[in-house]
Amino acid sequence: MKRLLTLSLLLSTALAAPAAQAQSTESATPPAPATRSMPTAQPVLDTISPARDVAYPGMMTLEVDASDTTQRIWHVKQTIPVSSSGPLTLLYPEWLPGKHAPRGQVEKVAGLTITANGVNIGWRRSATDVYAFHVNVPEGAREIVLEFQFLNATAKNQGRIAVTDKMLNLQFETVSFYPAGYYVRRIPVATTVTYPQGWQAFTALRGKVSGSTVRYEDTDYETLVDSPVFAGKHSRVVDLGHDVKLDMVADKPSELAATAEQIEPHKKLVRETLALFGAKHFDRYDFLLSITDEMGSIGLEHHRSSENGVDPGYFTKWKDGPGERNLLPHELVHSWNGKYRRPELLWTPDYRTQMQDNLLWVYEGQTQFWGYVLGARSGLYTKEQTLDAYASIAARLDTAKGRSWRPLIDTTHDPIIARRMPKGWSSWQRAEDYYNEGLLMWLEADGIIRRESNGAKGLDDFARAFFGMRDGDWGQLTYSRQDVINTLNGIQPYDWAGFIASHVDSTSSEAPKAGFALGGYKLVYGDTANSKTKDLEKRIGGIDQSYGIGLMVRNEGHIVSVIWDSPAFKADLAVGMQIIAVNGVEFSGENFKEALTSAKLDKRPIDLIVKQDRNFRSIKLDYSLGLRYPRLEKTGEGEGSLDRLLQPKT
């Protein structure tokens, strides 16, 4: 939006200018009666050169001192060679791959000085692009030197915590600028990082270690930004085979004590993923995994690595359920879907060009689909746990009345609109539904392909054809919606354009659940929680009755969500309130469950006392359907196509 310059605006300004400048200057004239001054808009000119696909002359050098674990201040020195004097624009990365939004943390850059031949040459930030810094390179300068700090969040209200006294997560876009006017893949860079003493650092880049300093292999700026670092005091590396490694850091060494039985499904995940796609687009791959409740959580895909943050207990509480074991399958799939194959308007030549998110129902939706399928095929999830996840996903989307006004495609803009901020009425506003609704849509596509081909083909064939081409190509291959439709038609002729239009572009009254019917299952509700709901209830420390009374509430009574148009909604409940008592007794999750259960039998309203700000209110909840939890139920005899989809290939 900041790069808009319209001809009509320029013309109207030019024509209107004389009138706008006509102002009275005679002080003796009494003031005119009250009127309305009307300025004319000034044209906004974008003077920053667009990126060109030409080689940048010379190699940038980047030195980062990331050894401060208490104040968490990173010190940066960056040298940028220059071939001529005059104006030069330096850009700080704004639009970040994988975040699908302008999320560069430029507010954490401080102390910036820029010198040439030892003389401070100053800088001026663009008023229309706060990520752009203009400098004037003096005659005779061969390079400019930037020195600044990146001030990591020291409290959660400043942003994600990326440094603790036991680990750090260095993303190179936070500690570097790049010259405007070039594709970032054409800008060479040599990088050196100093870490806290005794720590191990992991990244897809290889480097030479000397004490606490690592001199990384020379690369290009795009690859550098796509190669973040996890470093830690306590670490462990496990070889998962096929050039894939699991690089782990944790708050405590005991969190790293994965058994062979726990590692095996991770190895199988690699085998299953390679068997699915048939080709790979990396020479090596590093899962960066942090097991911590101190460093902020993350799940971010890269071409040759991924950043994965899970809570303590990933291995030590393995038997409690799948927990966050869906994260690694999801992020690994992204190496194919998202990094190698990328929507044509989401791919950008630099980090200034606006990313267009409208194909995220493929990029994230199909990744979500394969993440769960590969979770089941690898054994990270049992089949039962996978079916439970499907049930919870479909049931939650079914509660989203927002689908009646907001089509799925519009939710793809949510990373830019909402920036993942909490929402008051997410079932009405909708959120990043392209993930899970994309999953359901692709499940239905798989069922259609299997039905139409009499079981000969499935979405596996699409994955191989669409993502598994050009083995060994480490670049990016862009696609359009029509390319997706054409590949689907190549696998199994069908009205795929109509299928996608009805799921993606249209509003609807319920979540797409036809994939269950095609696969031999249906969504039903009962009064016991499935494994996915149990996981969620443990995580929020409360109960999830989104599908019945329409409420998610913590054990101490704080309301987490109220489903739009649900009985809870009609009783005037909202996020931010606290339920103090239920049927005259102090609120607890268990008491509330009991009240819901007995209301089903005696059909009497449930009495609540609710606190909002400093006010207390009595509320009568007229609701008698009891506890409602979703699960999938088999509809036919024998093996259905959904059963076949979840079977391992290796």
- What SS3 state is found at 485? helix
Alpha helices in 492-607 (DSSP H): 496-500, 514-519, 531-540, 567-570, 589-602
Minimum distance between the CB of residue 7 and Zn ion, rounded to whole angstroms?
A: 39
Assigned token pair, 649: 């290939």
Q: Which one, 330 or 513, has the nearer CB to Zn ion?
A: 330
Minimum distance between the CB of residue 405 and Zn ion, rounded to whole angstroms?
A: 26
Q: Which one, 135 or 269, has the nearer CB to Zn ion?
A: 269
Minimum distance between the CB of residue 349 and Zn ion, rounded to whole angstroms?
A: 22
- What SS3 state is found at 590? helix
Cβ pair 348, 289 in contact under 8 A = no
**Closest by CA position to 505, among listed 412, 430, 398, 409:** 409
Burial of 211 (0-12, 13-18, 19+ CB in 10 A): exposed
Minimum distance between the CB of residue 301 and Zn ion, rounded to whole angstroms?
A: 6
Express the helix, strand and coil content of the chain in percent, nearest 5 each. 30, 25, 45
Count of Cβ atoms closer than 10 Å to residue 487 Cβ: 17
- Radius of gyration of the chain, Cα coordinates, nearest whole angstrom: 28
Give the separation between CA 555 and CA 62, rounded to whole angstroms. Answer: 49
Closest residue by beta carbon to Zn ion: 364
Count of Cβ atoms closer than 10 Å to residue 639 Cβ: 11
Strands 119-120 and 60-65: unpaired
Q: What angle do CA 167, 171, 172 make, to 5 degrees?
A: 130
Burial of 256 (0-12, 13-18, 19+ CB in 10 A): buried
Minimum distance between the CB of residue 13 and Zn ion, rounded to whole angstroms?
A: 44
Q: Which one, 92 or 287, has the nearer CB to Zn ion?
A: 287
Minimum distance between the CB of residue 347 and Zn ion, rounded to whole angstroms?
A: 16
Count of Cβ atoms closer than 10 Å to residue 416 Cβ: 17
Contacts (Cβ under 8 Å, ≥6 apart) of 497? 485
Q: Which one, 103 or 593, has the nearer CB to Zn ion?
A: 103
Q: Which one, 247 or 364, has the nearer CB to Zn ion?
A: 364
Give the separation between CA 79 and CA 61, rounded to whole angstroms. Answer: 5
Amino acid at 366: Q
Minimum distance between the CB of residue 81 and Zn ion, rounded to whole angstroms?
A: 36
Minimum distance between the CB of residue 330 and Zn ion, rounded to whole angstroms?
A: 6
Q: Which one, 98 or 188, has the nearer CB to Zn ion?
A: 98
Minimum distance between the CB of residue 551 and Zn ion, rounded to whole angstroms?
A: 29
Minimum distance between the CB of residue 175 and Zn ion, rounded to whole angstroms?
A: 24
Count of Cβ atoms closer than 10 Å to residue 408 Cβ: 24
Minimum distance between the CB of residue 649 and Zn ion, rounded to whole angstroms?
A: 22
Q: Which one, 364 or 410, has the nearer CB to Zn ion?
A: 364
Burial 614-634 (b: 16+ CB within 10 A, else e): eeeeebebebbebbbbbbbee
Minimum distance between the CB of residue 367 and Zn ion, rounded to whole angstroms?
A: 5
Strands (E) in 233-327, as ranges, are 235-241, 244-250, 285-291, 299-301, 305-310
Count of Cβ atoms closer than 10 Å to residue 315 Cβ: 18
Minimum distance between the CB of residue 334 and Zn ion, rounded to whole angstroms?
A: 6
**Closest by CA position to 407, among listed 502, 282, 312, 265:** 502
Count of Cβ atoms closer than 10 Å to residue 424 Cβ: 11
Assigned token pair, 320: 């409690």
Q: Which one, 290 or 367, has the nearer CB to Zn ion?
A: 367
Amino acid at 533: T
Note the residues at the interface with Zn ion (CB under 5 A).
364
Q: Which one, 65 or 364, has the nearer CB to Zn ion?
A: 364
- Among all chains, which residue has been given the structure tokens 């999801």? 330
Q: Which one, 219 or 411, has the nearer CB to Zn ion?
A: 411
**Closest by CA position to 479, among listed 566, 369, 325, 362:** 362
Q: Which one, 438 or 548, has the nearer CB to Zn ion?
A: 438
Minimum distance between the CB of residue 304 and Zn ion, rounded to whole angstroms?
A: 16
Assigned token pair, 253: 């060494």
Minimum distance between the CB of residue 362 and Zn ion, rounded to whole angstroms?
A: 11
Minimum distance between the CB of residue 435 and Zn ion, rounded to whole angstroms?
A: 7
Assigned token pair, 391: 């049930």
Q: Which one, 364 or 433, has the nearer CB to Zn ion?
A: 364
Give the separation between CA 120 and CA 90, rounded to whole angstroms. Answer: 16
Give the separation between CA 565 and CA 546, rounded to whole angstroms. Answer: 11
Q: Which one, 292 or 436, has the nearer CB to Zn ion?
A: 436
Q: Which one, 251 or 364, has the nearer CB to Zn ion?
A: 364
Q: Which one, 79 or 348, has the nearer CB to Zn ion?
A: 348
H or E stretch covering 90 = strand 86-91
Q: Which one, 364 or 398, has the nearer CB to Zn ion?
A: 364
Q: Which one, 74 or 434, has the nearer CB to Zn ion?
A: 434
Q: List, in sequence order, every residue forming a beta bridge with 12; answer none if it has no partner.
A: none
Give the separation between CA 174 and CA 415, rounded to whole angstroms. Answer: 19
Minimum distance between the CB of residue 338 and Zn ion, rounded to whole angstroms?
A: 7
